[in-house]
Structure 1
Amino acid sequence: MLLGWGFGQGRHMPSTTPKGLFAMINPRGWGSKLPAGIVPLAPRRRLKPALRQRRIENIGLPMTLGRIGSLEVRLAETARDVKKAQKLRYQVFYEEMAAIPDALSLISRRDRDDYDTLCDHLLVIDHDAPTKLGKPGGRVVGTYRLLRQDVAERHGGFYSAAEYAIEPLISAHPGRRFLELGRSCVLPAYRNKRTVELLWHGIWTYVLHHKIDVMLGCASLEGTDPSRLALPLAFLHHHAAAEGEWRVKAVPERYVSMNRIAKEGIDVKRALHALPPLIKGYLRLGATFGDGAVVDHQFGTTDVLVVLPVEKISARYVDHFGAGAERHAA
């Protein structure tokens, strides 16, 4: 799947926006005043039905989810925004790393799949950085893809279900709302605390707005030879495995054992050093990991499933971002 910057992916086509819904939002037209807190859709901008649907579902979220200096985090608003995220993903996954593009991705120079039409796309934009063409307006330097359970269930389920048997997990928690995170990447020059913190501030704002109870998705270690990843895989298996009601197992046909070194033989310091930064970040937040890894040959990675109930997030991180996500609010 992805290298250490990401979680989850997706598929299938979205449903169209219900007829008349925009009139219900603002029956008096673009020029009229909306109730406080409601952000109107941009005038004269033709959006695809899926993007219109996403924007309707996110009414009430601020346009800017957070800001640190010249960096802003927000959701993609247009098809052009989504294309910028896809181009960034292509640059990181295919040009920098070892992913193998299909014909469509190779021609378009974008990492794309059907799930892009269903998901919300979180963007970090550096407003002080020119675009590739040297024009002002800022550049997308980081992205995350977000897929809520209610959307996934209308269109065939979560991407992670192709690698992990997550349906029993979801069925065991009928009153909880799940969110799949994926396709995460950041440009090399921005792989620092400030950018990652802003991404997570955006996710936290989104989680609070949509009343998400559980986050999950596939995080990745670089390489497709599990024997070379024995130390970090064994560490996650012995020290951070999801248990009881949160345990999830890789699908049988793709299951790769993570129990590759006995617990007493693990050098914890070396194991932590071998983990990608994102997986270490999930550990600090309080995440646990599924049973079994999955090799993703297209992306040149070995995936592990991250399970993070919101109630398990370390209190110090909740305090850091603020119970209402006010720390980096614009």
Structure 2
Amino acid sequence: MHTTLERARTTFPLSPARPAAEAVIPAGALLGRIGPLEVRLARNSSEIAAAQEVRFRVFYDELGAKRDYVHELEALDADRFDAICDHLVVFDTAISGPDHRQIVGTYRLLRQEAASVAGGFYSSDEFEMDVLVARHPGRRFLELGRSCVLPEYRTKRTVELLWQGIWAYARRHGVDVMTGCASFPGVIPAAHAEALSFLAHHCAADADWHTRAVSARFHTMDLMPVEAVNQKAALLAMPPLIKGYLRLGARFGEGCVVDRDFGTTDVFVILPVERISERYINYYGAEATRFAA
């Protein structure tokens, strides 16, 4: 997660190797289904507001983020990026009432084309993403953010459904690289010394994909010597979202960032599509093919 700073941002060029993806997913297009749960893009302002309400309930009410940047009466987690992002939403169709009241989870998707027009990616407040993008001018980037699911829906099935939707979306838009922040709870990196050290020693991005936390906010992740890190304990200590990224084949940037507004310690995820584990390509791809055509 990030603060809602409104500082100037680098404008990222579109890839010169190919034009922007022509295929556009219509708002409301179904991207996945498991039982009564469905995932698709929010199709109107009511559904986006419902996703923002879910975010508020998780980030502010449950996890204790500060409320300096939100209106108390609105109870919405919102910033200027919401207007240029696509909002992936999970619906529980078994809930009666209007569609927007069925929303139980969400992911915010920011494509490079939209970030270029808006002046940059959200993650640039914390990590040197402009350097990463500039190093790969022939790649199309997708930033994943604001991931949250209501407590009663935090199951393997919901996570799988979200990834069905992300994969269908990525296929349709010709995405090459997925990036974004993932968070550990709390603002003391040392509280996660073993997990952060494991990421630093064993899961760091190679030179071609290396990304660093911005200097002013940099905290080291190398908090324990490699021989002292117990892999099993480190993995058990990681939040489910970070373990999920690891299973897919993600690598991580250098350094973490403390976000005091949201009360988190953030790490940077880099996931080139060609490095996603084949078994997950086969698993999610089979479902995505049904919805991405």
- The 5 Å alignment of 1:24-173 reads 58-59=24-25, 63-102=29-68, 104-130=70-96, 135=97, 137=99, 139-173=102-136
AA matched with 1:80: S
Alpha carbons of structure 1 residues 151 and 136: separation in structure 2 relative to 1, 3 Å = closer
Query: What is residue 260 of structure 1 aligned with on the other side?
Result: 223
1:275 matched to 2:238? The reply is yes
> CA separation in 2, counterparts of 1:213 and 1:136?
36
1:101 Cα offset (Å): 1.4
1:129 Cα offset (Å): 2.0
1:122 Cα offset (Å): 0.2
Query: What is residue 177 of structure 1 aligned with on the other side?
Result: 140
SS in 1 for 2:66: coil
AA matched with 2:35: G
1:104 Cα offset (Å): 3.2
1:106 Cα offset (Å): 2.1
Q: How many residues align?
A: 278
- The 5 Å alignment of 1:288-327 reads 288-322=251-285, 325-326=288-289
- 2:160 pairs, out of 197, 201, 204, with 197
When normalised by structure 2's length, the TM-score is 0.89
> CA separation in 2, counterparts of 1:62 and 1:69?
18
> CA separation in 2, counterparts of 1:90 and 1:64?
25
Alpha carbons of structure 1 residues 126 and 329: separation in structure 2 relative to 1, 3 Å = farther
Query: What is residue 17 of structure 2 aligned with on the other side?
Result: none
Q: Which has the larger radius of gyration?
A: 1
> CA separation in 1, counterparts of 2:50 and 2:28?
21
Q: Does structure 1 conserve the Cα–Cα contact (< 8 Å) formed by 2:23 and 2:172? A: no
AA matched with 2:186: G
SS in 1 for 2:71: helix
Q: Does structure 2 conserve the Cα–Cα contact (< 8 Å) formed by 1:90 and 1:110? A: yes
SS in 2 for 1:106: coil
Q: Does structure 1 conserve the Cα–Cα contact (< 8 Å) formed by 2:164 and 2:287? A: no
1:63 Cα offset (Å): 1.5
Alpha carbons of structure 1 residues 326 and 312: separation in structure 2 relative to 1, 3 Å = same
> CA separation in 1, counterparts of 2:156 and 2:290?
15
- The 5 Å alignment of 1:201-280 reads 201-280=164-243
1:11 Cα offset (Å): 6.8
RMSD: 2.3
Query: What is residue 248 of structure 2 aligned with on the other side?
Result: 285
AA matched with 1:181: L
Q: Deviations over 1:84-137 (max 9, x none)?
A: 00000000000111211125332210001000001000000001124xxxx364
Q: Deviations over 1:284-307 (max 9, x none)?
A: 000000000000001000000000
1:322 Cα offset (Å): 2.1
SS in 2 for 1:182: strand
Q: Does structure 2 conserve the Cα–Cα contact (< 8 Å) formed by 1:178 and 1:216? A: yes
AA matched with 2:91: I
Structure 1 stretches (4+) deviating beyond 6 angstroms?
8-12, 327-330
Q: Deviations over 1:215-239 (max 9, x none)?
A: 0001000010111111111010001
Amino-acid identity (%): 53
Which blocks of at least 5 consecutive residues in structure 1 are unaligned? Answer: 3-7, 13-55
Q: Does structure 2 conserve the Cα–Cα contact (< 8 Å) formed by 1:10 and 1:158? A: no
